[in-house]
Amino acid sequence: MAIGLGRILGFRYLENFNYPYIARSVSEFWRRWHISLGQFFREYVYFPLGGSRKDRHRTTFNLLFVWALTGFWHGASWNFLLWGFYYGILIALEHGVLKRAIKKIPRGVGILLTLIAVLFGWALFYQTDLTLCARQVLAMLGLAYGGGAVAFAPLMDSATLYTIRTYTVFPLIAAILCLPILPAADRLLRHRLRLQRTVHLVSTALLTIGVAVSIMNLVANSYQPFLYFRF
């Protein structure tokens, strides 16, 4: 959105997201997600602390400190601090004991494991109440807490199944947009098949329809405050 608004005003900004959901490790995910934020903390906090040039213990401390600060940057709440430590620990492990293992596993397996780790990270990020956060994590594991004990629970109830059936098209669209399918198709059509004009007309029409549908959904739904409005 910022890139598009900038181009309207004549500015060109760098891409801030580069298909993070095809990353084969958590470290790669964060090199693809929110790139400008990662560059800022890397250049102004991580490198001045010594980066990875020190011994393993100091590198681990640097990573944990930077990620705790990243969590605090998102908000002064315990869940954000926990979220920061979560990623700090994962990336420290990838820099240490898991470094060789990551290189050996197939790319598809690495992408799947990274996606699972990121999904649990989003639970920590989304739930500001730690009790609700714990319940959500348990639910993601097929467990439930009640009566002072943890027990197995169905991963999907009737409400979840109804939501999936009703809004199936949106996850499918999101999945397509999360993968570099469209850029690959664009290169194929433009350069190999030489259909530049056709691609331009079709993409313009699709973008116009997409913007119109998005505006209608925003108007129809309730007010959702921007996450960083206080920042």
What positions carry a catalytic annotation? 74
Q: What's the residue count for the chain?
A: 231
β-pair type (143-146, 149-152)? antiparallel
Dihedral angle, C-alpha 161, 167, 169, 171, nearest 10 °? -70
- Tokens coding 75: 């908000």
Instruction: Report d(CA 129, CA 17) in Å as an integer.
Output: 28
Question: Which is nearest to 27 in space by CA: 40, 15, 13, 42?
Answer: 42
SS3 readout for 125-177: HHCCCHHHHHHHHHHHCCEEEECCEEEECCCCCHHHHHHHHHCCHHHHHHHHH
Instruction: Report d(CA 81, CA 69) in Å as an integer.
Output: 8
- Tokens coding 185: 């198709």
Element at 31 (helix H, strand E): helix 26-32
Q: Are residues 52 and 59 in contact, defined by beta-carbon separation less than 8 angstroms? A: yes
Instruction: Report d(CA 192, CA 198) in Å as an integer.
Output: 13
